[in-house]
Amino acid sequence: MKEDIKYPPNHLLRRERERRCWTQQELADRVGTTTVNISRWERGINRPFPILRRKLCDVFEKDTEQLGLVYGDTAEHYGTKTPRDANSDLLLPSLDSSASLWYLPQRRNRFFTGREEALLRIRAALSQPQAISGLGGIGKTQIAVEYAYRYRDSYKIVVWLRADTAELLTSDFLLLANVLHLPQRDEQDQTLVVEAVKRWFGRNEHWLLILDNADDLEIASNFIPVEGNGHVLLTTRSQATGTIAQRIPIETMSKEEGMLFLLRRSEYIKSNATLEQVSETTRAQAQAIVEELDGLPLALDQAGAFIEETRCTLADYLKFYKTRPKKLLRKRGQDAVGHPEPVATTWELSFEKVKVANPAAAELLRLCAFLHSDTIPEAMLEAGAAELGLLLQPVVEDSVEFNEAIRELLKYSLVSRNSEEKTLHTHRLVQTVLKDAMSIEMQQQCVRRAIRMINRAFPNPLDFTNWSTCQCYLPHVQVCVEQLQQLKVAFIEAAQLFHQSGLFLWRYGQRDKVPLHYEQAAQFIQHALRIYEWACGPEHLYVTCMQQELGQIYLELGKYTQAAEPCCNARPMPEKV
């Protein structure tokens, strides 16, 4: 009889299959064998015959070495105690229950900066499963990696598993069953193997189990051991962790953390240097980049890699980003530690999943891309719902459907929600990526929809009881002004909204005697005047009224020349209505 498993699991073969998103059945059909054989080859239970090896090479267009199909004395090559994965340099000991195991496919990030509060919170609360939660690119995986390395001496066993899908988790559990030499590792029913691994955790202690990319927490929960003296740590984009895990929300980096990380990653300073050792000019340039990228770690990592690899200056990068953000947000560095996809690709994949699951949620996110990223009032969306189109209007008007749409966005942390203030928030770079993926025509449609919605929702600015609401809406109006100028469109509802905003700021400035409010009021009314003059003609009553209002504002500001000719600063009108 054959001795029990002598061969290591074939990770190269399995990963080539998964890279093509093939199931074991699909590969079996291509090679002309069974799923049982595919499973056994990947798990190291046996090897394919030479004729099947050739078929595998033909199917994958790889040689035998690239597929892990070169066999010598396997036991001698890998060792019976510490075999190494030929593809990822993981330490995979053949364990009994008293041995130790370090199974972590991620290198420690030598540029890791800050996040001390999150690490301490994880350490203090691991009596129950913890979920590091946040937007893609926010640094969840790197925090989990840093935790594992920093506290490795506290654990006998550290295991990192991929939780993207049930199939990947099952595959990793089967691999783990082989590594642990569990009696159930040869079972055809994979559920039995998974349960055996979970029982193994239940019988052992001092272990750390990390489930990475557990966006579907219901799936991940089926793989979490219910017993055992160990710790479970998940990373997820979902903001709803329910009873499965305690959520640890991760936000963008602080200004100082972001600057230090950028300078270290770009090799401007050594990894142990501080901001105090950097010149004032360098600090100012680094701060400007951090502000442009809104403190997002993945975007800062991309920026640092670009600066290091091209040897450009911080000032050069800032200039490049201001003119070509789309290109830079899609450019990943050569050494993509822990996150191979760039920012743009990461979010576009999430957005595609949202579109499939809930098209209205995708439409809502597009709308948010043309508003101010902070504090988007849900009341504004509801009051202006009639302008949101056939798909989104009924959803916003139905509170249950509206919450379902928001839930889908929260699942990927594409928005965050303040339930007390009834506001939404989205990251500025998410907005940039979304807009860059749209055609000019779609962008124009979205900005028209946003302006008409705000215009319908904007309350009477002459009633001071509405002023707090007007003030909440004002940042979104300002964003709309900028969008119209960029997209070169104009229409009557935009003029109405800008006029109402200008009246509010004028009255508000009169009450508080703030010159800045007068200046802003004049700018808004000037925008409205240009549109009305172009759309209705220079003799129209609206044009006359606004010229009078502008004249009065300039008089109160003491700008008498401008008061005499309030429309003298009018610019050429946009090309499209």
Q: Which domains does the chain have, with CATH numbers?
A: 1-76 (1.10.260.40), 90-249 (3.40.50.300), 255-329 (1.10.8), 342-437 (1.10.10), 462-577 (1.25.40)
Rounded to an integer, what is the distance from CA 316 to the centroid of its chain?
A: 26
pLDDT digits (tens, 9 = 90+) for 253-298: 999 999 999 999 888 888 778 888 889 999 999 999 999 898 998 8
What is the torsion angle, in degrees rounded to the nearest 10, for the CA atoms of residue 377, residue 379, residue 383 and residue 384? 20
Q: Can you tell me whether residue 366 is helix, strand or coil?
A: helix
Q: Given a cut of 60, is residue 490 above it in pLDDT?
A: yes
214 or 43: which leads in pLDDT: 214
Which residues are paired to 461 by β-bridges?
none
Q: What SS3 string covers 413-451?
A: CCCEEECCCCEEECCHHHHHHHHHCCCHHHHHHHHHHHH
Spatial distance between the Cα atoms of 174 and 14, rounded to a whole number of angstroms: 12
pLDDT digits (tens, 9 = 90+) for 543-557: 888 888 888 888 888
Q: Given a cut of 80, is residue 533 above it in pLDDT?
A: yes
Q: How would residue 566 be classed by pLDDT, with cut points 50, 70 and 90?
A: low
Q: What is the DSSP letter of 60?
A: H
pLDDT attached to residue 344 = 79
Q: How would residue 305 be classed by pLDDT, with cut points 50, 70 and 90?
A: confident
Residue 233: C-alpha distances to residues 91, 107, 126, 133 (Å): 20, 18, 8, 11
Q: Given a cut of 60, is residue 179 above it in pLDDT?
A: yes
Q: Can you tell me whether residue 295 is helix, strand or coil?
A: coil
70 or 335: which leads in pLDDT: 70
pLDDT digits (tens, 9 = 90+) for 433-474: 898 889 999 999 999 999 999 999 999 988 888 989 999 999
| Nearest of 55, 18, 11, 12 to residue 33 by alpha carbon | 55
Range in 93-97, 183-187, 309-313 with the lowest mean pLDDT: 93-97
Q: Given a cut of 60, is residue 81 above it in pLDDT?
A: no
| Nearest of 502, 398, 383 to residue 453 by alpha carbon | 383
pLDDT attached to residue 70 = 74
Residue whose structure tokens are 């990963």 = 15
Residue whose structure tokens are 């642990």 = 180
pLDDT attached to residue 575 = 46
Rounded to an integer, what is the distance from CA 188 to the centroid of its chain?
A: 38
Spatial distance between the Cα atoms of 472 and 330, rounded to a whole number of angstroms: 33
The predicted model gives 222-248 an average pLDDT of 89
330 or 85: which leads in pLDDT: 330
Q: Given a cut of 90, is residue 516 above it in pLDDT?
A: no
Q: How would residue 84 be classed by pLDDT, with cut points 50, 70 and 90?
A: very low
